[in-house]
């Protein structure tokens, strides 16, 4: 089997690393504030959260690569591409609202928008790229968990 290099094999992982790094940087700047909050009974450890986000970013990158390697330049493909980029932006924006600005209520609204984009992306991919859609399902579930934590922290703080 002959491997043919495509530019997206480099660009998609680099974008994923950039999004993860920016989100991680913003998060790290707000950790003192976060650690001073009152926590609900269920809060995963910081290391577990980090591992989950790493897995989510890897699965998202693989999903995007699988999609881009098979996609055409149709309006459908452009829409899916825009949703992947919106997803990346919204992920960083949530970190900025929650950890950077300590705006838990607005971050909660934003995370519902993020997960709505995730759901639409999964549903659109399901039509032609089921494997790509399935790889995003853990992301959707994890963001539900994060939304619950965001909501709980907002209520008790």
Domains contained in the chain, CATH given: 8-29+43-156 (1.20.1260)
pLDDT band at 6 (very low <50, low <70, confident <90, very high): confident
Contacts within 8 Å (CB) and 24+ apart, 145-151: 145/44, 146/111, 147/108, 147/111, 147/112, 147/115, 149/40, 149/42, 149/43, 150/98, 150/104, 150/107, 150/108, 150/111, 151/108
Structure-token match 């907002």, residue found: 154
Tens-digit pLDDT profile for residues 21-43? 999 999 999 999 999 999 999 89
pTM, full prediction: 0.92
Per residue in 87-128, pLDDT (tens digit) is 999 999 999 999 999 999 999 999 999 999 999 999 999 999
Q: Is 122 exposed, middle or buried (CB count within 10 Å of its CB: 0-12, 13-18, 19+)?
A: buried
First-residue to last-residue Cα distance in the chain = 57
């Amino acid at each position: 089997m002959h491997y043919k290099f495509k530019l997206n094999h480099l660009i998609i992982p680099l974008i994923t690393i950039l999004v993860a790094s920016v989100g991680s940087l913003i998060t790290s700047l707000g950790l003192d504030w976060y650690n001073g909050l009152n926590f609900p009974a269920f809060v995963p450890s910081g290391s577990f959260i980090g591992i989950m986000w790493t897995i989510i970013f890897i699965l998202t990158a693989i999903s995007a690569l699988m999609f881009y390697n098979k996609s055409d330049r149709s309006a459908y493909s452009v829409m899916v591409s825009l949703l992947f980029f919106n997803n990346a932006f919204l992920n960083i924006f949530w970190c900025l609202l929650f950890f950077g600005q300590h705006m838990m209520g607005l971050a909660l609204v934003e995370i519902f928008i993020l997960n709505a984009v995730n759901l639409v992306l999964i549903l659109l991919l399901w039509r032609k790229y089921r494997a790509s859609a399935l790889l995003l399902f853990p992301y959707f579930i994890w963001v539900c968990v994060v939304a619950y934590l965001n909501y709980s922290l907002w209520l008790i703080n």
